[in-house]
Amino acid sequence: MTDPPEVVGFLHDGPRSAEQAAALEWLDGTSTAAEPVRFDALADAADRFDALWWHREAPLEAPSPLSAHAPAVERHLASGGGLLLTLRAMANVDALGIETVPPDAVGAETITDPTGVLWRRLHDGHPAVESFDDLRLRVCDRGAVGTAAYESVLPARGEVLASTVRGDHDVPHRMPVVGWDADPGSVLGVGAPLSFDRPAAEAVAATRDRLVAGCLAAVADDVPEPGRPRDAEEMAAMRRALDADDRPAYHFTAPANWLNDPNGLVRWNGRFHVFYQYNPAGPFHDTIHWGHASSEDLVRWRDEPVALSPSPDGPDRNGCWSGCAIDDDGTPTLLYTGGDGRRQLPCLATAADDALRRWEKHPDNPVIEAPPPDVDVLETEHWEAEFRDHCVWREAGRWQQIIGTGLVDRGGAALRYSSEDLREWRYEGPLLVGEWASDDTVWECPELLDLGDRRLLHVSNCEDVVYFLGDIRDGRFVVDRRGILDHGDFYAPQSLADGDRHVTFGWLPEARDLDAQWDAGWSGALSLPRVLSVGPDGDLRQRPAAEVRQLRTERLLDDATFELSAGERRRLDVAGRTLELDLEVGLRDAAAAELSVFESPDRAERTVLQYGRDGELVVDRTAASDDPRVAADTQRMAVPPYDEPLSLRCFLDRSVLEVYANGRHCLTSRIYPTRDDSVGVSLAADDGRATVRDLSVWRLGDGYPRSPPDGER
């Protein structure tokens, strides 16, 4: 239990306002001694206090006089003291020398519903909130209150500890609580509406009082504020803190927080590198950075430091979004989309070390200043031009690039550029435009792969990943065949070239609501590495990379073959949530065959894969979870029989079911069993007989070592 400070210096920069007087009166009523102290007297008095508290609702007049007092604050922190900044006082962290990026959302907030802080699960052991059992702490229920928060930018030095809750709604993108480690001292900024001069319901006022008391105790304590992880050991600690029954064990996830699109996939100096869209501020999509992990074998991963962060004064100040990696004559290079306000444009960065941990942004970013002027690029509420995401390759002596977009009254499109040096780009025209008109269709994350006799172009259209097989003729992509890459929870894939194969990862978004993701503390996973190829018949093939077999730790069933009679259900003598199943199913005279996984003994909780004579594979998750916050629906995929029996390879990983059918078709589903005994597997036949052949089951191991190998910390 953190002890309260013995003496708090209550800072003010002039006559105390009614709000400040009310806060000081509250502090006088606690067990802590309080002493008002003016900023201009702080230099002579700072040593007397365990903690300083500046509580200010009104804005400071410009220019701010605080820079003259910053040295006194610095001395207080250097002696091990703490500082609490509440309401608009938090907006002055730059003037006090604590932070270089101040909050960007500062003003008067009108409170009509109980409002407060939405604490991050990753930091739920913080001393400020150790007396609470809830992550949602409502501290104000009425009035106009001056507040401060980060919204479209993040602090450069501090760690976001909490977002906002309003009534029954989580507001993750508004981040009013930040901690700064000012070793040996510490600083907490709480820009949430902590008002003492307004009436509040008894429960709300009690929560406010406990939170402020906890914050004062926290800054007076010697425990440093948490920071962003700096090495593999600290990242492993983040993973351990958020380990749970529904967190994938061998599918790739970020150490904590938010993950979406895989980016910059590359093999360099014998290691595979995966970068990904990452929000270090919590499990929600905002303030995007590039996370990074590396592997020797594509299945066991080492977390690396964040590779790209938004530059406060750069063209990527609001996010470093999706892009790709290129080997530019021995120099690893990233081309990514930078966001600045309503603009999104291509930016360049080059590696500063062989481990790909440090990157230098091109000083003249963006490398393309605007979309092509002769193309009617779609404008939306958020973007003045939907123009993003990059695929770059070398062909005909020049660099080639496609960028995803949407065209007014025409639909999605991939625009083609060429360059001599990756820095000066010439627009060459559309590579492919959708054949259907839509006012809001955008092709995201386009990628072009050379599969030998055919080329594959895939795009993500905000719903599905559509692929086209064909070739480029006269600068345009000519489509021979098309399809859906994955019929389930799968989006924005990207590939890396590894010898004569293309290895692809896709983002597996959550199928549960935002509140559930917040409570988990993490969001998003990547698919297993897949190898894409074209078969002799000219159709696409998809299969797990051979390295996936290295995850097998125990064979539970070996090539079992049996017949199922009409209505029979056979429970397998295997159980688990991290399994691989490989089997063939023949329908004989059955109408359908069924594989049930994540099954409880009474089958009240189960996920069902059903294959019928209509050639359709259905994943039924209507009874997959007792949690009302998760998807309860069916997902469907046409599976032409291709000389039945149906071949299935299924990967179960706690909240992931990844299915490969006939080596051609994929359906990935997110599933969240709640019962400890939902680990069973069974098979059944419907209205006739079915045959199961060559059924093998393996238990699969963890994709993340519990601690980094020696020398890799």
Residue 490 neighbours by CB under 8 Å, 6+ apart: 465, 506, 507, 508, 527, 666, 668
**In a shared domain, residues 258 and 185:** no
161 in the same domain as 40: yes
Residues 40 and 166 reside in one and the same domain: yes
Among residues 177, 203, 220, the one where a domain terminates is 220
276 and 361 co-located in one domain = yes
If one counts the domains in the chain, the total is 3
| The pLDDT of residue 409 | 86
Give 706's pLDDT tier (boundaries 50, 70, 90): low
Domain-ending residue, one of 165, 198, 220:
220
Taking alpha carbons only, the member of 336, 454, 450, 469 closest to residue 404 is 336
Looking at residue 62, its pLDDT comes to 67
Q: 587-604 pLDDT, tens per residue?
A: 999 999 999 999 999 999
Mean pLDDT of 302-319: 95
Q: Which residues are catalytic?
A: 261
Give per-residue pLDDT as tens, 216-272: 999 998 778 888 888 888 888 999 999 999 999 999 999 999 999 999 999 999 999
Percent share of the chain, pLDDT over 90: 90
For 251-281, give one letter per residue: b (16+ CB within 10 A) or e: bbbbbbbbbbbbbbbbbbeeebbbbbbbbbb
Q: Determine the average pLDDT of the residues in 146-151.
A: 98
pLDDT computed for residue 436 by the predictor: 60
Interval 482-516: pLDDT, tens? 999 999 999 999 999 999 999 999 999 999 999 99
Answer yes or no: are the C-beta atoms of 338 and 387 closer than 8 Å: no
Q: Is residue 397 part of a domain?
A: no
**Amino acid at position 534, single letter:** V
Q: What is the mean pLDDT of residues 69-77?
A: 94
* CA–CA dist 408, 378 (Å, integer): 5
pLDDT at 439: 55
Do residues 188 and 179 lie in contact, with contact meaning Cβ atoms separated by under 8 Å?
yes
Q: Do 67 and 153 fall into the same domain?
A: yes
In a domain, 441, yes or no: no
- CATH for 686: 2.60.120.560
Six token digits for residue 261: 């699109």
Same domain, 276 and 211: no
603 within some domain: yes
Residue 52 inside a domain? The answer is yes
For the chain, the average pLDDT equals 95
What domain range includes position 626? Answer: 552-700
**What is the Cα gyration radius of the chain?**
28
Decide if 462 is inside a domain.
no
335-386 pLDDT per residue, tens: 999 999 999 999 999 999 999 999 999 999 999 999 999 999 999 999 999 9
- Is residue 151 in a domain? yes
- For residues 651 and 695, state if they share a domain: yes
Query: What are the E-state strand segments in 217-367?
Result: 257-268, 271-279, 289-295, 301-308, 319-328, 331-340, 343-351, 359-361
* Any domain includes 458: no
CATH number of the domain within which 12 lies: 3.40.50.880
- Domain membership flag for residue 663: yes
CATH of the domain at 300: 2.115.10.20
Least confident among 6-20, 313-327, 432-446, 654-668: 432-446
pLDDT tens digits, 626-661: 999 999 999 999 998 777 799 999 999 999 999 999
Residues 211, 310 within the same domain: no
β partners of residue 482: 468
User: 436 or 413: which carries more pLDDT confidence?
Assistant: 413
- 683 and 566, same structural domain? yes
Report how far apart, in Å, the C-alpha atoms of 704 and of each of 119, 252, 300, 305, 348 are: 27, 9, 6, 16, 31
Q: Note the pLDDT of residue 655.
A: 98
Instruction: Residue 580: name the closest of 680, 516, 502, 658 by CA.
Output: 658
Q: Are residues 148 and 260 in the same domain?
A: no
Tens digit of each residue's pLDDT (9 = 90 or more) over 81-132: 999 999 999 999 999 999 999 999 999 999 999 999 999 999 999 999 999 9
Local confidence band at 708 (pLDDT 50, 70, 90 cut-offs): very low
422-450 tens-digit pLDDT: 999 999 999 999 976 555 689 999 999 99
Contact 390/402 with Cβ under 8 angstroms? yes
Pair (156, 263) in one structural domain: no
The predicted pLDDT at position 710 comes to 43
Strand ranges in 60-158 using DSSP code E only, listed in sequence order: 82-87, 105-111, 115-119, 136-140, 143-149
> pTM above 0.85?
yes
The whole-number pLDDT of residue 46 equals: 75
Q: Do 173 and 284 meet the contact criterion of CB atoms below 8 Å apart?
A: yes
> Is residue 299 domain-shared with residue 339, that is, in the same domain?
yes
Q: Beta strand 271-279 with 289-295: parallel, antiparallel or unpaired?
A: antiparallel
